[in-house]
Chain A
């Protein structure tokens, strides 16, 4: 692991700022990954281009917002044919639907994790989705560090909900979302 944990509630408790802080995402170090099951084995895929906007209100978490846009034509399935399958019409149909978007509607915190309820749009179909977020400090940083943080977002998605149902015999419907975003105060 490239960083040390710092629990969410620690940051929240020690925060002094009132307004949400806006963050930029470092695309080079961040990883928008997911795990899918192909023939019973877990494979890691990723989106190589994306935009993530984060605003965190450490005093009042419900004022925080997250929006994500993934460029489907940069989707990778972990190996060449997995990538081709992902971008094909039978899964993401990347030419017709160049973006996957997620917009948060409410953020609630409990302990060291936050639940982000929002709308995700895949292949033009919008459904509610709840993601789990955790914040971490970089290794060796000060306990009060808030300018540079690492946000981990996890969740599960059923691709069949969005008509991305190709290769159903080989590839399981559920995907695990695994985003590791290195965020920097604007």
Chain B
């Protein structure tokens, strides 16, 4: 199997990144929802820096994925109606934008709280905004909304993939897996 995408197939790198990031984003989404509803105390506050560290890790993978895609276009889309192509394209672009915006909002908002962002105890991620409560509140609520928008679109995206697989019975989903 080729590492790079070809005219007709996704390469190993694109596929691995797609699935690792898909799992990671769902996990972070529920993790984020979980911690934002916690009553924080000495026993559980460490979950917040853990969410941040995983989020930054995800941002790194997403950046690699987007860079990889710029030098490595996906295979030609399988036949579909023009409006289906258009919607697929729009949803993919929106997903890429939200995949960057969500962790970036989180990073700015988390920086503005003034708390450090340790990366699994290895080093501290730089803070990219000065301590500012208003910025922290705004950006962290945007972070929550953009995460929700992203997951809503991902559901649509998954529905389309399942439609292609089970109803239209084409190669779209298989191509992303095998």
Contact = CB atoms under 8 A, between A and B. Distances in A.
25 contacts: A38-B40, A38-B41, A38-B42, A39-B39, A39-B42, A39-B43, A39-B44, A40-B41, A41-B42, A43-B42, A80-B118, A81-B45, A81-B115, A81-B116, A84-B114, A84-B116, A88-B114, A88-B131, A89-B131, A89-B133, A90-B133, A169-B39, A169-B40, A170-B40, A170-B41
Contacts of B113: 88
A85 B116 CA distance: 10
Interface in A87-102: 88-90
B74 interface: no
Contacts of B42: 38-39, 41, 43, 79
A43 B118 CA distance: 22
Contacts of A40: 41
Interface in B113-168: 113-116, 118, 131, 133
Which DSSP category, helix, strand, loop or mixed, fits chain B's interface? loop
Nearest to B44: A39
A141 B41 CA distance: 43
Interface size on B, as a range, is 10 to 19
A35 to B, nearest CB: 13
Interface residues of A, number: 15
Interface string B34-75: 000001111111000100000000000000000000000000
Contacts of A41: 41-43
Interface in B4-53: 39-45, 49
A106 B125 CA distance: 50
A80 B115 CA distance: 9
Nearest to A37: B41
Interface string A7-42: 000000000000000000000000000000011110
B101 to A, nearest CB: 26
A86 to B, nearest CB: 11
A85 B133 contact: no
B141 to A, nearest CB: 16
Contacts of B133: 89-90
Nearest to A85: B115
- Going nearest first, the 8 A-B pairs with the smallest beta carbon separation are A39-B41, A88-B114, A170-B40, A41-B42, A84-B115, A39-B40, A81-B115, A38-B42
Most buried by A among B44, B114, B118: B114
Contacts of B116: 80-81, 84
B41 A81 contact: no
Q: Indicate the member of A40, A81, A85, A170 with the most B CB atoms within 10 Å.
A: A81
B52 to A, nearest CB: 11
A145 B131 CA distance: 50
Nearest to B42: A41
A41 B44 CA distance: 12
Given A88-B114, A88-B131, A81 B49 contact: yes
A38 B131 CA distance: 22
